[in-house]
Amino acid sequence: MNLARLRTAEALFLQRYPGGFDNEEMQAIGKKHKVDKVSELAATVLAKKNFVNQAQVIDDLVKIVSRSSMVSLFEKPKFRDYVNGLNRDDRGYLADGFRKLLHGNAKSKGKGSRKEGFEDVVDVLTEGKLAKWSLLTIVPFYFRPQTEVFVKPTTTKNAIRQFELTHLTYHPRPTWDFYVGYREAIEQMKAKVHPSLAPNNAAFTGFLMITSEGSK
């Protein structure tokens, strides 16, 4: 991590938006994204106990993706139509993949782990050519907005370049190892800046996006 660049980005952002994301202009932008509202929905409908009803979970996953302002307008209907068109077995497999991704063992990489859940979801979405970073990470982000990350390709690639996250190599196909590495990098960077720049992880990566736009 290039700490000097991060410090410079922090200073420029706070100069432009005093108070960080508490700034009136940033607050207005934040209201449009409704992160708190969708996160509350995700925490409620995707609680571990609810996964006994896989059909309902699938409907709720589609609802969460459809309500997200961070997922492309092109990807949302494609996700909805693909998931709704899956046969019963594949819908069950997808629901179970999300169960493991959200509630599985975080330390293990074997059966029942979050890694296995991530890969199961990738497998199902690959069949519909929808194994994209946005669709893989938006649900975990809403479920745990302070610890999980939403991987937006352009923002992620710019952050890796601008802040010299040399241990990370971005690939279009989502992988658990990259996700974990990027999430750890975001946590390390957050610890080095003022808390007002990170009310949640999507806001923090938004800060990275804004400050790296002029450095291309």
Do 54 and 96 contact (CB within 8 A), yes or no? yes
Residues 118 and 167 in one domain: no
Q: Which of 81, 76, 122 is nearest to 101 (CA)?
A: 122
Residues 174 and 82 in one domain: no
Tell me what pLDDT residue 213 has.
Answer: 63
Q: What is the span of the domain harbouring residue 10? A: 3-33+149-215
Residues 49 and 124 in one domain: yes
Tell me what pLDDT residue 214 has.
Answer: 52
In terms of Cβ atoms closer than 10 Å to its own Cβ (0-12, 13-18, 19+), residue 149 is buried
- 3-class secondary-structure state, position 213: helix
Residues 156 and 175 in one domain: yes
Return d(Cα 195, Cα 192) in angstroms, integer.
Answer: 9
Q: Of the candidates 91, 126, 143, which is a domain's last residue?
A: 143
Q: 214 is written with which tokens?
A: 């002029």
Per the structure, the count of domains in the chain is: 2
Q: Residue 139 corresponds to which amino acid?
A: V
Residues 69 and 90 in one domain: yes
CA atoms within 13 A on the CB side of 99: 19
Return d(Cα 169, Cα 23) in angstroms, integer.
Answer: 34
Q: Which of 4, 70, 2, 16 is nearest to 210 (CA)?
A: 16
Q: What is the pTM of this model?
A: 0.90
Q: Of the candidates 101, 117, 143, which is a domain's last residue?
A: 143
Residues 41 and 28 in one domain: no
Q: What is the pLDDT of residues 103-156, one digit of tens each?
A: 998 877 778 899 999 999 999 999 999 999 999 999 999 999 999 999 999 999
Return d(Cα 6, Cα 185) in angstroms, integer.
Answer: 12
Q: Of the candidates 87, 120, 143, which is a domain's last residue?
A: 143
Return d(Cα 157, Cα 154) in angstroms, integer.
Answer: 5
**Residue ranges for the chain with pLDDT beneath 50:** 216
Whole-Å CA distances, 21 to 25, 28, 31, 163, 179? 8, 10, 11, 21, 25
Residues 83 and 139 in one domain: yes
Residues 96 and 73 in one domain: yes
Residues 94 and 180 in one domain: no
Residues 59 and 120 in one domain: yes
Tell me what pLDDT residue 212 has.
Answer: 76
